[in-house]
Amino acid sequence: MSAPLVEVRDVNFAYDSRPILKGINMSFHKGKLIAIMGGSGCGKTTLFRLIGGAIKPTRGEVRIDGQVMHELDQQGLYDMRRKMGVLFQFGALFTDMSVFDNVAFQMREHTDLPEEVIRDLVMMKLHAVGLRGTHDLMPAELSGGMARRVALARTVALDPMLILYDEPFAGLDPISLTVVGQLIRKLNDALGATSVIVTHDVQESLKIVDYIYFVADGVIVAEGTPDEIRASDKPFVHQFVHGEMDGPVPFHYPGGDYRQDLGVAA
């Protein structure tokens, strides 16, 4: 097997003295679709920011296409990000731009392509997500699912080698969720890209991804293919996959004696 496109090597990260990630190791190979899952506050978004070069690890390194992210200068980081696509949570479309201009934005910003070529490329990207007919609409005229699909077209506008998805299924109805999930899989395969999804949606992710990492308390507690994750007997994974209230993740936040808080004598 070829070398991974993305390698996370012994990554530690802390905000001041509060540790968030503790010795994380991950590998993302070209053409694969990988999910990073875990409860709120486990460090998923921090990993996402480290991969994108927004923050630097306290220890360890994130290596993309052979380059260590935190060692890149400003131009090097800019050039690397030019090869990435990011789908932000809820899409984050430019509200004052049309659908067409949202998708064309990166092409105009990062290339010298003539406008007629940009038009053809934008229409191709919108056609790929089934929304070519919306090119003259404004984001406010789109449904939530349509806006997410336009944002997906913008994400792949420059045919990135690495695509990062931050909670791409959040707030979608069941039909839109399935449509977006299948589009993520098909676009990744068509582009030959590597895609990383940070998500809480276990069931939809298990349908489309090649590999899953489960993070809890800043460490990887489980990893494997969808079939391996479904069959896992690890309590945390079983609780998370099946959405159970009882398990390693407690329902109650730690607190004092309940009777004492209610003013009831022992």
- Which pTM value belongs to this model? 0.82
Cα dihedral angle (237, 243, 247, 249), rounded to 10 degrees? 80
> Please, which pLDDT band fits residue 117 given cuts at 50, 70 and 90?
very high
pLDDT at 214: 87
Please report the sign of the dihedral spanned by the C-alpha atoms of residue 109, residue 115, residue 117, residue 119.
positive
User: For residue range 200-223, what is the model confidence (pLDDT) as tens digits?
Assistant: 778 888 889 999 998 888 888 888
Query: Is position 242 within any domain?
Result: yes
Q: Please give the tally of structural domains in the chain.
A: 1
Range of the domain at 169: 6-83+160-261
Asked if 28 and 2 touch (Cβ cutoff 8 Å), the reply is no
Write b or e for each residue in 45-82: b if 16 or more Cβ atoms lie within 10 A of its Cβ, otherwise e: bbbbebbbbeeebeebbbbbeeeebeebeeeebeebbe
Query: Is 89 a domain residue?
Result: no
d(C-alpha 240, C-alpha 246), whole Å: 10
Q: Is the pLDDT of residue 50 over 70?
A: yes
Tell me the HSE value of 206 on the side-chain side, using a 13 A CA sphere.
Answer: 17
Task: Give me Rg for the CA atoms of the chain.
Answer: 21
Report yes or no on 213 lying in a domain: yes
Residue 145 located in a structural domain: no
Q: Is residue 114 part of a domain?
A: no
In a domain, 72, yes or no: yes
CATH of the domain at 236: 3.40.50.300
The answer as to whether 101 is a domain residue is: no
Q: Per the domain annotation, does 137 fall within a domain?
A: no
